[in-house]
Chains A and B, each alone.
Chain A
Amino acid sequence: MQTAENALVPPFQRPPSQVAIRRVASYEADLFELIYETLREFVERDLSEETANKTGEISAAKKSRSLMSVPGKTVLLKPNFVGLDLLGCMNTHPAVIAAAREGFLKLGAERVLIGEGPSMDRDTEAVLESVRLREYAGRLNGGFVDLNIDDVQRVPLKTRASKLKELYFPKTVLGADFVVSMPKLKTHHWAGVTLSLKNMFGIVPGGCYGWPKNVLHWAGIDNSILDINAVVRPDFAIVDGINAMEGNGPIQGTPKQANVLVFGNDPVAVDATCCRIMGLRPEKVKYLAGAGTLLGHLAAQKIEQMGESIATVRTPFAVLADFAGLREDRVGHRGAESTEREGRPQGRG
C-alpha cells in the first residue's frame, strides 16, 4: 500500500504510468493465464527499466510499489461487491478475482487476501453467496476479510479535500503490503464513473460509519474519494470490464459488454483509460480531475499503453443526463446537455 507520503506526487515529478488493456471474450476464457502473463509483463517492464537506468537501479521508492516487490508479501485484493446481481454487471466477477489471486501467488506473494466492505447491505455472507465467490475462490472462512467489521485504526487526513479531518481504516488494509483495486467498469449516478479510485470507498468500515457510509456522502463524494486514496492509494488496479454497466449505475444501470480487462500501476491512469474506453472524458469527472493533480496521471501522453489500443476496444457508454458533459462526442454541444435524455435506465429485473 502506498502511504500518503509517497502517494502524493505532482504529475511533473511522477514518472510515466503503465496501463495494459486486454480483450477478453467472456469469463469462460483462461483468465489465470491472461492475468498472470499481464502481471509478468509489468514485472519485465520494471526490470528492463531497472537495467536501462544509468544509475544501475530503479528507485527504491518505485521498486517498493511495483509488482517486483510482491514476492514474500501480503497482497490484498479489493473487489467491488454490491449485492445480488442477476444480470452479472454489478459486481467484480469472481472468476477474475480467483484468477488474480492465483496470479499473485504465482508471482511469489506469501498470501493473497480478498477484502471488501459492502456499502449497502450488512449481510456480507449473503453478498458473497450472491456473487458466487465461494464457487471460484474456495471456502470463504479464512481467505476473505469483511472490511466492514475489521479492527480499525484512526488516520488523520492530510489532504483534507473533504471536510473530514480523520477516518478510521481497517487494519487489514493498512497492514497489507500491496493493495490491488479490482472494480467493475460502471457509470455512477452521483460520481459519473466508478472505477479503481471510487472502489476504495469500500474499505471505509461500515462498523464505524454505518451502511451506507453516509458520512462520506455528506463530506462530498468526489472529495472523499481523494481523501481515501491519498491514505490508501492502490498499488495496482485490475478493472473487470468484460460485462460492465452503463446508465444509472452502480446498482440500477443496464448491462454493457465491453469485453476488456484493464490493468495498471497507477489507479488514476487506469481510470482515465477506462473513461476513454467508455467514450468519456476523464478530465470532466470531478474526482478524477482532482486525482490527476496529485495521485497519478490523467494525461494520455503520460500513460504508456500496453496490449490493445483504446481505439480498438472503445465502447461508448450511456450516462445519465446529469453527466452528458462527460461524453467525448458532446464537446462543443453543452447547450444540448440539459435536455439530454438518452441513457435512461430501464431498471433491473
Chain B
Amino acid sequence: MPRIFVKNELGTVQFSSGNFLAEICLPFLKSAQNADGGWGFRMGAESRVEPTAWTILALAGLDSQAEIVSGGLRFLRSTQLPDGSWPASPGQTVGCWATSLACWALGHDSESQTALTTGLQWICADWPKDLNFVQRLIRRIRSLAKREVVSQQDDSLRGWGWTPNTASWVEPTAFGLLAVDQAPKDLLPAGAGERQRLAKSMLYNRMCPGGGWNCGNPMVYGVAGDPSIPQTVWALLALRNEPSGEPQTSSLQWLGKSVTGAIGIGSLALAKICLETYGREFVNAENRFRERYERNGFLGNVPAIAWTCLALGGRSGSWLKRGNT
C-alpha cells in the first residue's frame, strides 16, 4: 500500500485512512491535471480556477505531490486578471467568487505573494449589490400594505456575491471570509476587518430557522427554506473561530443528522471536514466513501474528489489554519 503523508504544524504524520485516498483519489487527481497545470471540473475538461484551487488545497500538504501542486500554482498565477481578480472560466474578463478560492490556495506559496496581495485587495473592494436603503424601504412598505412578509433578511448586512453587481449569498460570503481569514495578516488591505464583521453578521442573519444554511434564502414568502450540506459546511467553517453559540450548535446538529441521508460524495466529504473541525466524530468514513464511489464514481467531479482528499487527510491537514480571526 502506498504511504501517504501530510504535513502539519507538529511535523509529518501519516494519513489515518490512506487506502481510498491512495488508490482512488490521488491517481484520479494526478491524471486529471491538464498540460497547462490546471484542473477542469471533470477529467479532460478545460482548466478552470475553482477546481484548480480546490485541488491545490487538497494536495498542498502531501510530500509526494509538490510538482503537481507547483503546476497548479503556475496556472493560477497565469490566469489572474489585471485588476487582481480571477474569472470563473477562460475568456471571461471579470472576476468572481473564484478569486477567494485562488487566494486561499496561493496563501501556501511563497512565490505568489504579489498575486495574493492584489487578489485580496480585489476581494475587499468587491461589494455586492444588495438592496439599497430606498429599495429596502419600498419592500417594507409593500409587505405592510399586503400584510405579508416576503423575506425577513437584513440586506444591510453585506457579504460577497457570486459575481460582481449581484447580491450577497452564503457560499461566496463564506469563501470570502475564509480567503481573508487564511491570508497572511500583513497582506490584508485596510478595511478587511470591517468586511469580515459585516460578512459574519450576514451569515448569522441568513441561517435557516432551526439551523443550517442554504444558498441564502432562509425564508421565502413566509415559508422556511431547507438547509443544504455544502452551504452549511462553508458557513460553519467561516464561523469556526466565533464564540460557540446556538447557531453553531443547531447547525451542527442538523448537519450530523443530514449525513445519514442520500447525499453525494462531495457533501459527505464536506460534512466530515466540518464535523471533525468542530470536534465531532464521523464514524465509518472509509466505507462510506467507498460505497458512494462504487455507486456513482464521483460523477467525475474534481472538486468533490479534492474535498474527499481533504476529508481523509483528517484534522491534521494544513489547508485550514487557525486564521486571522
* Interface residues of A, Cβ cutoff 8 Å to B: 83-84, 120-126, 128-130, 134, 139-141, 144, 146, 149-152, 154, 168, 189, 205, 207-212, 214-215, 217-218, 248, 251-252, 320-321, 338, 345, 347-349
Q: What is the bound-complex CA distance between A150 and B172, given in angstroms?
A: 20
B205, CB-defined interface residue at 8 Å? no
Contact A207 B266 (CB under 8 A): no
B77, CB-defined interface residue at 8 Å? no
Contact B296 A212 (CB under 8 A): no
Q: What is the bound-complex CA distance between A205 and B87, given in angstroms?
A: 14
Query: Closest Cβ of chain A: how far from B18's Cβ, in Å?
Result: 24
Contact A209 B262 (CB under 8 A): no
Could you say which residues of chain B place their CB within 8 Å of the CB of A345? 221-223
Contact B221 A210 (CB under 8 A): no
A-B contact pairs, 10 of them (CB 8 A): A120-B215, A121-B215, A123-B266, A149-B45, A150-B41, A207-B41, A207-B89, A252-B220, A321-B148, A345-B223
Query: Closest Cβ of chain B: how far from A261's Cβ, in Å?
Result: 27
Contact A208 B92 (CB under 8 A): yes
Q: What is the bound-complex CA distance between A260 and B295, given in angstroms?
A: 33
Could you say which residues of chain A place their CB within 8 Å of the CB of B304? 125
Which segment of B8-16, B22-30, B157-165 sits at the interface? B157-165
Query: Closest Cβ of chain B: how far from A132's Cβ, in Å?
Result: 9
Beyond the given A146-B301, A214-B162, A214-B163, please list 9 additional residue pairs across the A-B interface where CB-CB is below 8 A. A124-B264, A129-B264, A149-B42, A151-B45, A210-B161, A210-B163, A210-B172, A214-B166, A215-B163
Among B25-60, those with CB < 8 Å from A are 40-42, 45-46, 48, 50
Among B185-228, those with CB < 8 Å from A are 214-215, 220-226, 228
Could you say which residues of chain A place their CB within 8 Å of the CB of B266? 122-123, 125
Could you say which residues of chain A place their CB within 8 Å of the CB of B89? 152, 168, 205, 207-208
Given A129-B262, A214-B162: A84 in contact with B299 (beta carbons within 8 A): no
Query: Closest Cβ of chain A: how far from B286's Cβ, in Å?
Result: 19
Contact B88 A207 (CB under 8 A): yes
Q: What is the bound-complex CA distance between A321 and B304, given in angstroms?
A: 41
Q: What is the bound-complex CA distance between A149 and B266, given in angstroms?
A: 14
Could you say which residues of chain B place their CB within 8 Å of the CB of A252? 220-221, 223, 225
B229, CB-defined interface residue at 8 Å? yes
Q: What is the bound-complex CA distance between A210 and B159, given in angstroms?
A: 15
Q: What is the bound-complex CA distance between A209 and B296, given in angstroms?
A: 26
Contact A211 B50 (CB under 8 A): no
Could you say which residues of chain B place their CB within 8 Å of the CB of A140? 296, 299
Given A125-B265, A218-B165, A252-B221: A151 in contact with B97 (beta carbons within 8 A): no
Q: What is the bound-complex CA distance between A248 and B146, given in angstroms?
A: 16
Query: Closest Cβ of chain B: how far from A9's Cβ, in Å?
Result: 30
Q: Which residue of B lies closest to A321 (CB)?
A: B146
Given A84-B226, A207-B88: A218 in contact with B129 (beta carbons within 8 A): yes
Q: Which residue of A lies closest to B224 (CB)?
A: A347
Query: Closest Cβ of chain B: how far from A216's Cβ, in Å?
Result: 9
User: Which of A83, A146, A152 has the most B CB atoms < 10 Å from its CB?
Assistant: A152
Could you say which residues of chain B place their CB within 8 Å of the CB of A139? 296
Q: Which residue of A lies closest to B214 (CB)?
A: A120
Given A214-B167, A248-B221, A347-B223: A168 in contact with B92 (beta carbons within 8 A): yes
Query: Closest Cβ of chain A: how far from B139's Cβ, in Å?
Result: 13
Could you say which residues of chain B place their CB within 8 Å of the CB of A154? 91-92
Q: What is the bound-complex CA distance between A297 and B40, given in angstroms?
A: 41
Could you say which residues of chain A place their CB within 8 Å of the CB of B48? 207
Contact A141 B264 (CB under 8 A): no
Among B272-325, those with CB < 8 Å from A are 292, 295-301, 304
Query: Closest Cβ of chain A: how far from B214's Cβ, in Å?
Result: 7
B171, CB-defined interface residue at 8 Å? yes
Could you say which residues of chain A place their CB within 8 Å of the CB of B264? 123-126, 129
Could you say which residues of chain A place their CB within 8 Å of the CB of B215? 120-121, 211-212
Could you say which residues of chain A place their CB within 8 Å of the CB of B165? 215, 218
B169, CB-defined interface residue at 8 Å? yes
Query: Closest Cβ of chain B: how far from A166's Cβ, in Å?
Result: 10
Could you say which residues of chain A place their CB within 8 Å of the CB of B169? 210-212, 214
Given A140-B296, A210-B96: A121 in contact with B230 (beta carbons within 8 A): yes
B263, CB-defined interface residue at 8 Å? yes
Could you say which residues of chain B place their CB within 8 Å of the CB of A208? 88-89, 92
**CB-contact partner of A129 in B225, B263, B300, under 8 A:** B263
Could you say which residues of chain A place their CB within 8 Å of the CB of B224? 347
Could you say which residues of chain B place their CB within 8 Å of the CB of A168? 89, 91-92
Contact B163 A209 (CB under 8 A): yes
Could you say which residues of chain B place their CB within 8 Å of the CB of A150? 41, 45
Q: What is the bound-complex CA distance between A140 and B299, given in angstroms?
A: 7
Interface pairs A-B: 6 shortest CB-CB? A210-B162, A125-B264, A149-B41, A214-B166, A126-B264, A129-B262
B99, CB-defined interface residue at 8 Å? no
Q: What is the bound-complex CA distance between A151 and B302, given in angstroms?
A: 13
Contact A125 B221 (CB under 8 A): no
Q: What is the bound-complex CA distance between A124 and B166, given in angstroms?
A: 23
Q: What is the bound-complex CA distance between A128 and B304, given in angstroms?
A: 15
Query: Closest Cβ of chain A: how far from B99's Cβ, in Å?
Result: 13
B267, CB-defined interface residue at 8 Å? yes
Q: Which residue of B lies closest to A346 (CB)?
A: B223
Could you say which residues of chain B place their CB within 8 Å of the CB of A205? 89
Q: Which residue of B lies closest to A130 (CB)?
A: B262
Given A121-B215, A210-B163, A218-B129: A151 in contact with B229 (beta carbons within 8 A): no
Contact B265 A151 (CB under 8 A): no
Could you say which residues of chain A place their CB within 8 Å of the CB of B42? 149
Contact B41 A121 (CB under 8 A): no
Could you say which residues of chain A place their CB within 8 Å of the CB of B40? 151
Could you say which residues of chain A place their CB within 8 Å of the CB of B45? 149-151
